[in-house]
Structure 1
Amino acid sequence: MVLAAALALGIGAASAVVAEVKLVMVEQPGCAYCAAWDDQIAPAYDKTAEGQFAPLIRADLQMGPPEGVTYARRVNFTPTFILIDDGVEIARMEGYVGEDFFWPVYAKLLEENTDFEPALN
């Protein structure tokens, strides 16, 4: 729908599909759970429907939110995954306990807070 509207207005397809929803991963050096996420999830993340819908942004815990991003509350744990829409937090997951937990919880977070529709197998 967005693409069709953009094309009708004469906006090129490349600029018509701009991800407003993003996933901020707040991390810090030495975080073992961040490293586990990097090993188990990161290599595939941008190839998944979830990753294409909500591209990943990384943020260092000590540096605060990335420019243009507002968190709803302070981040105390790493990793913390913050779902943002137009730079504003709409949901979060704190911690990482493994890929078997991450994917279903993250998919549910997307479904409940955005217009993400999971691919049917």
Structure 2
Amino acid sequence: MKTMKTQRGMTLTSFLVVLCIVGFGLYIGMKLFPMYSEFYAVKTALKGVAKEPGVANMEPGKVQEMFFRRLDISYSESVKPANVKFERVSGGWNMKVNYEVRRPLVGNLDVVGKFDAHQELTLSGAD
């Protein structure tokens, strides 16, 4: 008596469904990656400014200028001077950068990212 072998694997329809899901995931990733890459550049610029000698005694305008010079190297476009705030702390400043990035996704849907970074600029250096 012969037994039939059952075939295993994906049908064309299931393959197309999986391909669509993976493609949509990659599309979302392509929209999110630049936003998070820019946030990483902001955090790197903050840490770089904190390592500058004498930054705790500088005026906020000078520190902000140094920060934006570092961001210009990274081609950051979302952070504006209005997004940067300074708060006096003992021994220096606390620099806060809060900004929002909005990118179109599909049709009238957007991806919105809210980013918040801060760095203490004290005599003791970066934390």
User: With structure 2 as the length reference, what TM-score do the two structures score?
Assistant: 0.29
Whichever of the two has the greater Rg, that structure is: 2
More helix by share: 2
* Higher RCO (CA < 8 A, seq sep 6+): 1
